[in-house]
Amino acid sequence: MTEARANDLALALAGLPLAARLRRIRQAFEGKLVFTTSLGLEDQVLTHLIFREGLDIEVATLDTGRLFPETYALWADTEMHYGRRIRGFAPDRIAIERLLDDQGINGFRLSPEARKACCHVRKVEPLRRVLAGAEGWLTGLRASQSTQRQGTGVLGFEPEFGLWKINPLFDQTRETLADLAGRWSVPVNPLHAEGYLSIGCQPCTRAIQPGEDERAGRWWWEADARRECGLHLAAASPAPDESRRA
């Protein structure tokens, strides 16, 4: 995928409905495509479309070991509903043991640095294994999810992982996706109805309060409103430096 082709593709994708977007994405890339799902509303809609359209896109999730019971139940229900497997990737055992030795079972609350260290072991490093050998990485990011994500576009080069990052839902609203999920009978996490709009690890997620943005319940004890886990730290660049891809 050259820079010029990527720019043309981004323009084309912006004008397509979701199912057609995904088909066009699969056609545009010759290599392996991976979609990472957190099993949230956005990701469940994308999973539905990938499975319904029979697209050659691997669907994977990060099993941090600290997810809600409802999330694990939804994972099983989704596989049963579609008759397809969602690949799970767990953290490295030795890295987890070292983390626990260093900060204790809930040491991530001690400081932002400790929390980021936990996220790195449980999410970032497993993601590198998920994306190994892939040309493109599909996510459920939306520009309206939070202030930090306002700059999210449909396509850009991700230098951290050395591949193209594709956000098919970049211009969608939560209300639109909730409507689609209902009409298509997509399995969703029951915690959404209890105010958990963005769901991650159980000890790091709370229900949001009226007036808060969708991701306010993630790592709520930290003062920095730009908090992220390390998977999506910045908008991907639309113009990759070819030397970084070698």
194 to 57, 142, 190: CA distances (angstroms): 31, 21, 7
Q: Residue 118: its pLDDT value, please?
A: 96
pTM of the model: 0.88
Q: How confident is the model at residue 228 (pLDDT cuts 50, 70, 90)?
A: low
pLDDT at 242 exceeding the cut of 50: no
Q: How confident is the model at residue 7 (pLDDT cuts 50, 70, 90)?
A: confident
Asked about 229 being catalytic, the answer comes back as yes
What is the average pLDDT score of the chain?
Answer: 89
What are the residue boundaries of the structural domains of the chain, listed by start? 3-193
Q: How confident is the model at residue 69 (pLDDT cuts 50, 70, 90)?
A: very high
Q: Residue 239: its pLDDT value, please?
A: 41
How far the first Cα of the chain sits from its last, in Å, is: 13
Q: What is the pLDDT of residues 20-54, one digit of tens each?
A: 999 999 999 999 999 999 999 999 999 999 999 99
Helix then strand count (H, E) for the chain reads: 8, 6
CATH 3.40.50.620 assigned to domain 3-193? The reply is yes
Contact by Cβ (8 Å): 82, 53: no
Contact by Cβ (8 Å): 217, 205: yes
Give the whole-number percent of the chain exceeding pLDDT 90: 75
pLDDT at 95 exceeding the cut of 60: yes
Give CA–CA dist 150/166, Å, rounded. 15
Half-sphere exposure (CA, 13 Å, Cβ side) for 16? 16
Q: Residue 225: its pLDDT value, please?
A: 56
Closest CA to 230 of 209, 203, 200: 200
pLDDT at 190 exceeding the cut of 50: yes
Q: Which of 119, 201, 204, 229 is catalytic?
A: 229
Q: What is the pLDDT of residues 146-186, one digit of tens each?
A: 566 666 788 999 998 999 999 999 999 999 999 999 999 99
Q: How confident is the model at residue 226 (pLDDT cuts 50, 70, 90)?
A: low
128 to 87, 137, 177, 198: CA distances (angstroms): 14, 11, 28, 22
Neighbours of 40 (CB within 10 A): 23
